[in-house]
Structure 1
Amino acid sequence: MEKTTTTVAAWAAPSATEPVALTTIERRAVGPKDVLIAIDYAGICHSDIHFARGEWGPISYPQVVGHEIVGVVTETGSEVSRYKVGERVGVGCMVNSCRECANCLAGQEQYCLKGNIQTFGGVDPADGTITQGGYSTHVVVTEDFVLRIPENLDYAAVAPLLCAGITVYSPLKHWNAGPGKKIAVVGMGGLGHMAVKIAHALGAEVTVLSQGLSKKEDGLRLGADHYYATGDGTVFTEKANTYDLIINTVSALIDINAYLGLLTFDGTLVSVGAPAEPLPVQAFTLFNNRRSFAGSSIGGILETQEMLDFCAQHGIVPETELISADYVNEAWERVVGSDVRYRFVIDAKTIGVTA
């Protein structure tokens, strides 16, 4: 018997300027290698807002966003071998890739040379439709891009690990954060607070560089050894030539050369925040101390699973605020205003429920 699509409830952006609203979307039929996931929780990332509002370019509407998804497998395709009905699983920022290029074959699907298929706003190779994200009750994903959620992690808080967690874990691991290394984290938001937790668990000496000191107590509680305000500028003199690695998590313009000056010999500044405007770099700033300025995306599927297992081993989950689906528009405004500590998570059981 031919399988059919499934109609599910979702909260979608009708246009770049209208509020997110309750609607229904079609999920593709479960193919041989697919799993159907009943979503329990979906994290809110600032990328959701940028994308839905067309700030990164024109998109197709209506659009359901959300790429921090956790739920339970409710159906598997005939050829699925990794997952069984009833297992807790997650889906992050991508749901497919070419599987053939050098980067994909190296387990770095996030850098697919043909472009990975994003969880929302991509073109689904299975049926040619636009992918729709996690602000919904169900999703269908090929098993190769599904993650296993460790049982000992707080289920209601784990979703943001699938974006915020892996986004900082990947560069911390790649640039060898660990004992004897001095790591600075620029920004104390959704990404920054995860960088602090993970860098601390890796054994590094961790410093937070934030505009002010309003989150200092949080930063020290979450694992930072030091916390400095950059607003008065003295830190750039006092801490020059200090850090082995700086993770820049902010998506706003900063004086990148000032931060590069904080790097020690062979130090690297890695940007994971994505401002729309260029970040001008003075070449001589790099020449001094043989410094490097780099960027990093998320992680591949194997590394994302490694991150989840690492967080389970160390008891790491994001600091979250659980909300109902009908609060999404207010939550977005609070994200834009930096009024969240530190990540919103939607209770997907409330999707499809209206007041």
Structure 2
Amino acid sequence: MSAPRTVKCWAAAKPKAALEEVCMEVPSLGPHGVELRVQFCGLCGSDVHLINSDGGYADFTGFAVGKPQVCGHEVIGIVTAVGEEVTHVKVGERAGIGWQNGACHECEWCKKGDEQLCASVKATCCEGNVGAFADYVRIQDGKFCFAIPEACDSAQTAPLKPPRLCSAPLLCGGQTVWTPLVQQTKDGDKFASALGREVTALSGSASKAEEAKALGAHAFAGTLDFILVTLATTQTGGRKEMESMLAFCAEKGIGASVVLRPMDEVNACLAELESAKHAKRFVLTRD
């Protein structure tokens, strides 16, 4: 068991506050735990909701337990420590962590491979956990740390032209799209194009139509232009969906279209994300 360690992280001291770089202690690493040195961390809409303590997110923030809120749950980095029971990733290897970082592994949902529905689900950056807006991130259930296939670059430049492609957002946004595709046989976005399906992209912003089509959509619809009668949703996905999604992306050369920014620009990136003007994902980088 490794000792507690102090990490540098970007935290909100109170709801809707600007993030400030602070030092916080993270717990000792248990026998099933994994520690990553953060290299890339995607920004997600959930990060904005947590920082703002919006609606149903309020009870899951660090604020709710008397701690700052440190977000970040689309992370790729280098494994720097593992517990003695961890065998699927090794120190020095590249790995990733998404939204979920724990489950009971005993309930009916876990046994079905739907760990995201477990009543004991744990989240990487909720309830006082220090997320990946940091130099290091630790989770105690290493089953939710995933080896990143060699063909999935952490960050690469598409040949001769932008956008940059990055695998970090796949750890949450990618899994969220992939899971309904495999569970409900409905497709979307780059995944659907790679599967040979016809894609209609939906967005609340008509300004994203051209980029959606450039990414493989055959048609575009503004979601406020009509009434949706039936919605089917999923909640991220389990470990099997994460693993199959990463393998598929490696096979097809799929990565998220991103804008890379240094982590000390996190406040500006969050403001741009909240404006909903950008179709690309922001990914924070650390040296």
Question: Which residue matches 2:125?
Answer: 120
Q: Distance in 1 between matches of 2:223 and 2:13?
A: 40
TM-fit CA distance, 1:75: 1.8
Label 1:210 to 1:28 Cα distance change in 2 as closer, same or farther (>3 A): closer
TM-fit CA distance, 1:215: 2.6
TM-fit CA distance, 1:294: 2.4
Q: Distance in 2 between matches of 1:21 and 1:155?
A: 26
TM-fit CA distance, 1:29: 1.8
Question: Is the Cα contact below 8 Å between 1:135 and 1:348 reproduced in 2?
Answer: no
Q: Distance in 2 between matches of 1:210 and 1:82?
A: 38
* Alignment pair present for 1:323 and 2:268: no
TM-fit CA distance, 1:259: 2.5
Label 1:93 to 1:230 Cα distance change in 2 as closer, same or farther (>3 A): closer
Q: Distance in 1 between matches of 2:232 and 2:282?
A: 28
Question: Which residue matches 1:104?
Answer: 110
* Alignment pair present for 1:66 and 2:35: no
Structure 2 runs not aligned, ≥5 long? 156-165
Q: Deviations over 1:280-308 (max 9, x none)?
A: xxxxxxxxxxxxx3221101012101101
TM-fit CA distance, 1:41: 0.7
Q: Distance in 2 between matches of 1:345 and 1:230?
A: 26
Label 1:15 to 1:230 Cα distance change in 2 as closer, same or farther (>3 A): closer
Q: TM-score, normalised by structure 1?
A: 0.72
Q: Distance in 2 between matches of 1:52 and 1:230?
A: 26
Question: Which residue matches 1:50?
Answer: 49
TM-fit CA distance, 1:327: 1.1
Label 1:313 to 1:319 Cα distance change in 2 as closer, same or farther (>3 A): same
Structure 1 runs not aligned, ≥5 long? 123-129, 178-182, 184-194, 237-257, 261-268, 270-292, 350-355
Question: Is the Cα contact below 8 Å between 2:208 and 2:279 reproduced in 1?
Answer: no
Q: Distance in 2 between matches of 1:30 and 1:158?
A: 26
Question: Which residue matches 2:161?
Answer: none
Label 1:225 to 1:76 Cα distance change in 2 as closer, same or farther (>3 A): same
Q: Distance in 1 between matches of 2:199 and 2:2?
A: 52
Question: Is the Cα contact below 8 Å between 2:50 and 2:69 reproduced in 1?
Answer: no
The higher-RCO structure (CA 8 Å, 6+ apart) is 2
Question: Which residue matches 2:173?
Answer: 164
Question: Which residue matches 1:78?
Answer: 84
Question: Which residue matches 1:10?
Answer: 9
Label 1:342 to 1:176 Cα distance change in 2 as closer, same or farther (>3 A): same
Q: Which amino acid letter does the alignment assign opposite residue 198 of structure 1?
A: F
Q: Distance in 1 between matches of 2:84 and 2:183?
A: 37
Q: Which amino acid letter does the alignment assign opposite residue 160 of structure 1?
A: P
Question: Which residue matches 1:189?
Answer: none
Question: Is the Cα contact below 8 Å between 1:12 and 1:20 reproduced in 2?
Answer: yes
Question: Is the Cα contact below 8 Å between 2:88 and 2:147 reproduced in 1?
Answer: no
Q: Supply the RMSD in Å over aligned alpha carbons.
A: 1.8
TM-fit CA distance, 1:105: 1.2
Question: Which residue matches 2:150?
Answer: 151
Q: Distance in 2 between matches of 1:316 and 1:162?
A: 13
Question: Which residue matches 1:133?
Answer: 131
Question: Which residue matches 2:160?
Answer: none
Question: Which residue matches 2:158?
Answer: none
Q: Distance in 1 between matches of 2:2 and 2:202?
A: 53
Label 1:31 to 1:222 Cα distance change in 2 as closer, same or farther (>3 A): same
